[in-house]
């Protein structure tokens, strides 16, 4: 069943994806962007958008679920590696590459979470723990490192951003490798100070923010 190039239905169906892609691009760039910016990026009017989503919040929730899906897909693919370190590195690189962090955590707090989102997020967390624990068991991570640290690494690399999008990707790759090096046992010059972020600390960003 190939979609015909013309016809109203086909056009509308194509718009579905165009709009979602535009929303992803825009909100990744600036999480607080107005709805009109998404419409402009997609080359459509605002009404095309509101025909599909009842509100901005619903669009954001959809995007967030989409991000979690990607996260889970990346993690599952990474798990296929035989070597625990390769799996770990593939997971980290993949999450950064797809900019999944911007799509999830940065959007969290801008809408009231749904139960479905909670389940997806729980699944993502579990997958991450599996990959991490395997790496720990294999002794390829430095002492004292915990899963929460990896989340913070995502957060930190995601903060790398310059005007040019392609260059941003390049730079993120650079610091991903830097941090992957940092996380190996050979890098440790002393125990890390303080304690890794707890699940509660990482979870607090899901509650709606005041500002």
Partner DNA sequence: ACTTGAACGGAACGATCCGTTCCGCTAGTC
Partner DNA sequence: GACTAGCGGAACGGATCGTTCCGTTCAAGT
Quick one: how far is CA 15 from the chain centroid?
23
The Cα 83–Cα 81 span in angstroms is 6
Identify the CA nearest to 22 among candidates 47, 49, 41. 41
The single-letter DSSP state of residue 106 is: T
Q: Site residues (CB under 7 A) for DNA? A: 6-9, 11-12, 15, 32-36, 39, 43-48, 50-51, 55-57, 211
Residue 188's binding partner out of a copy of itself, DNA, none, with CB under 5 to 8 Å set by partner kind:
a copy of itself
Q: Report DSSP state, residue 99.
A: T
Minimum Å gap between C-beta 124 and a copy of itself is: 20
Minimum distance of a copy of itself from residue 148's CB (angstroms): 10
Q: Which is nearer to a copy of itself, 123 or 169 (CB)?
A: 169
- Footprint on this chain of a copy of itself (rule: CB under 8 A): 30, 33, 149, 152, 155-160, 162-163, 167, 170-171, 173-175, 177-184, 186-190, 192-197, 201, 204, 211
Place of tokens 């979870």: 203
**Sign of torsion over alpha carbons 71, 105, 98, 69:** positive
Query: Least distance (Å) from a copy of itself to the CB of residue 177?
Result: 6
Q: Which does 166 bind (CB under 5 to 8 A by kind): a copy of itself, DNA, none?
A: none
74, exposed or middle or buried, with CB in 10 Å at 0-12, 13-18, 19+?
buried
CA distance 57 to 108: 11
Residue 3 interacting entry, from a copy of itself, DNA, none, C-beta within 5 to 8 Å by type: none
Q: Measured from the CB of residue 15, what is the shortest distance to a copy of itself in angstroms? A: 25
Q: Which is nearer to a copy of itself, 73 or 192 (CB)?
A: 192
Contacted by 179, from a copy of itself, DNA, none: CB < 5 to 8 Å by type: a copy of itself
**DSSP notation for 129-142:** HHHHHHHHHTT-S-
């Amino acid at each position: 069943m190939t979609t015909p190039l013309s016809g109203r239905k086909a056009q509308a169906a194509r718009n579905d994806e165009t709009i979602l892609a535009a929303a992803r691009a825009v909100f990744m760039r600036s999480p607080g962007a107005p709805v009109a910016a998404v419409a402009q990026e997609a080359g459509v009017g605002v009404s095309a958008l509101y025909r599909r989503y009842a509100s901005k919040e619903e669009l954001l929730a959809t995007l967030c679920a989409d991000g979690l899906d990607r996260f889970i897909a990346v993690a599952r693919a990474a798990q296929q590696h035989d070597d625990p370190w390769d799996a770990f590195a593939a997971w980290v690189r993949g999450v950064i590459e797809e900019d999944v962090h911007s799509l999830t955590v940065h959007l969290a707090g801008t809408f009231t979470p749904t139960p479905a989102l909670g389940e997806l997020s729980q699944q993502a967390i579990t997958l991450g723990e599996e990959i991490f624990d395997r790496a720990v068991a294999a002794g390829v991570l430095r002492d004292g490192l915990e899963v929460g640290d990896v989340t913070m690494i995502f957060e930190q690399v995601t903060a790398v951003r310059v005007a040019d999008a392609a260059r941003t990707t390049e730079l993120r790759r650079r610091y991903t490798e830097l941090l992957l090096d940092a996380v190996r046992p050979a890098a440790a010059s002393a125990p890390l100070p303080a304690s890794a972020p707890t699940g509660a600390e990482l979870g607090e960003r899901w509650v709606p923010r005041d500002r």
